[in-house]
Structure 1
Amino acid sequence: MGMNETAYAKINLALHVRRVREDGYHALETLFAFVDAGDVLTAQPAAQDSVTTLGEFAGVLDNPFENLVARALNVLPRPQGLGVTLEKNLPVAAGLGGGSADAGAVFRMVEALHGLPDDWQARAAKLGADVPACVLSRTHIGLGTGTEQVEVEDDLAGNPVLLVNPRVPLSTGPVFKAWDGEDRGPLPQGPASQIAREGRNDLEAPAISLCPVIAEVLAALEVTNPWLARMSGSGATCFALYDSPEARDAAQAAMPQEWWTMAGRLR
């Protein structure tokens, strides 16, 4: 019996970089949210694990040892293998947690079939800082390197959202290196909508310094009258939140044809 699971696109409604920790990682405070669209995984029971990748961005994942679907399968004990097909709809190195979302979808599929080990969060965190959040795929605050989860009042479920990427990959490491090191303060308090409105993305300026077209994406979104437009993660994807699906769809139609876009709602 086959099963399908969506790897929901991750966005950071706010991302505050506080300081560099003793282990060299940055202490982060972020408000995670997830879009009701993304990559699609299909799985069938099999004698041994396998991963087949197709879709618009499949060609970028040419190293099977770096594929987070395969790595997620490797860290989860099961009585039988899974043959997984990954439809790669999300751009790679885009600030959407695409690989982490794929891994999160694998965890959910294995949970449905066999349950997860008690230490699943530690196993997920070893794959990447965003993976535990992507297993949950719901709005919450992430602390530490993003792996510590804190509940938040979610008043944004169902909010129309537009994702836009200029089709320029941007690796996380150089963006953090370009951050100016200034601690601009903690996340605001309150429900998700208030944190999003009053928060910021501290990686926006360093990302724009490396990838100037991000500023063009944000400017193009601002003129479509969203109630919030911001870069996600370390870029280069930006998102905009709208009061209605009609406003979101009109904004999507107004974006340059060569940019990648995805319309949806927050989960």
Structure 2
Amino acid sequence: MRETAYAKINLALHVRSRREDGYHELETLFAFVDAGDELTARSASIDTLTVTGEFASQLSDPFGNLVAQALSRLPRPNGLAITLEKKLPVAAGLGGGSADAGAVFRLVREAHGLPDDWRERAARLGADVPACVESVACIGRGTGTDLEPVENDLAGTAVLLVNPRVPLATGPVFAAWDGQDRGPLPEGAASGVAGEGRNDLEAAAISLCPPVAEVLSTLAGTGADLVRMSGSGATCFATYRRHGVMHEAAEKLASDHPRWWQMQGKLR
């Protein structure tokens, strides 16, 4: 069996308040790119995990990552031997580990079905995991686990992901948020929510990782319709009306900034 762990991006991310439990009240528009990490699985007597790919070395404890944790929380009559090809950078605002876990849920669903409480099991793994299981555009509230459907009029839109190859942990970025509530997520279809929305963590991320500002500025000069940071960074994205314009932008960025990581795709 094969599954793609689709890269998650936040087309908008509004941080409303700090919670007493240490988390934050969020309102976000999740979207997913048709590319990401790749997982292959086969039946086995016990669960095993092999990690390969460009960013495999960034997973210092492969058996403690979300793939292994997802496997341990899903009942099955037999094990799965999984190979994870890590194509997405780690600590990058793309929900890489959550996307990997979501792909495991889909693999188990295909092979054995999921328990009725799978959403609760997914939420216990991480705030982004429930959205990553289905990997379709949706609104997330609360810590991001309370999901609502959204009219997805952005499906098929060309998108370019760019990361300066600087890991940026989520916790410090949220800690650096200024605490100001700038208002709720707009209502309506995905295009309107994205266009009128914002990412309230951009300033905090830039204060910790100045290259984010350079990536945003560079993408803004490529003819994109929308340029924004995803999640807590440091990955930024640009959307384009035409795939040809996106390809040209990607080629220029590869020439001007050869050390930056990038991924081309389209929104699901």
Same fold by TM-score greater than 0.5: yes
Give the drift of 1:67.
1.2
Q: Deviations over 1:31-70 (max 9, x none)?
A: 0000000000000000000000000000011213431111
Equivalent position amino acid for 1:174 in 2: P
Moved more, 19-28 or 239-248: 19-28
Q: Deviations over 1:165-195 (max 9, x none)?
A: 0000000000001000000000011100000
* SS of alignment partner, residue 12 of structure 1: strand
Equivalent position amino acid for 2:75 in 1: P
Q: Deviations over 1:69-119 (max 9, x none)?
A: 111000000001000000000000000000000000000000001000001
Equivalent position amino acid for 1:115 in 2: G
Give unpaired runs (5+ residues) of structure 1.
none
Alignment correspondent of 1:15:
13
Equivalent position amino acid for 1:107 in 2: F
Equivalent position amino acid for 1:231 in 2: M
Which of 156, 159, 169 lines up with 2:157 in the alignment? 159
Alignment correspondent of 2:246:
248
Alignment correspondent of 1:93:
91
Equivalent position amino acid for 1:247 in 2: V
Q: Deviations over 1:144-181 (max 9, x none)?
A: 00000011111000000000000000000000010000
Equivalent position amino acid for 1:171 in 2: A
Alignment correspondent of 1:260:
261
CA distance in 2, matches of 1:85, 1:189: 40
Q: TM-score, normalised by structure 2?
A: 0.98
CA distance in 2, matches of 1:12, 1:97: 10
Alignment correspondent of 2:73:
75
Does the 8 Å CA contact 2:51/2:62 hold for their aligned counterparts?
no
CA distance in 2, matches of 1:5, 1:179: 35
Q: Deviations over 1:128-155 (max 9, x none)?
A: 1000010010000000000000111110
Give the drift of 1:219.
0.6
* 1:223-242 to 2 correspondences below 5 Å: 223-242=221-240
Give the drift of 1:21.
1.8
Question: What is the percent sequence identity of the aligned residues?
Answer: 69
Give the drift of 1:225.
1.1
Does 1:105 pair with 2:111? no
Does 1:200 pair with 2:198? yes
CA distance in 1, matches of 2:217, 2:259: 16
Q: Deviations over 1:192-232 (max 9, x none)?
A: 00000000000000000000000000011000010000000
Which of 31, 50, 58 lines up with 1:60 in the alignment? 58
CA distance in 2, matches of 1:199, 1:35: 19
Give the drift of 1:25.
1.1
Q: Could you say what the CA RMSD is over the residues aligned between the two structures, in angstroms?
A: 0.6
* 1:114-125 to 2 correspondences below 5 Å: 114-125=112-123
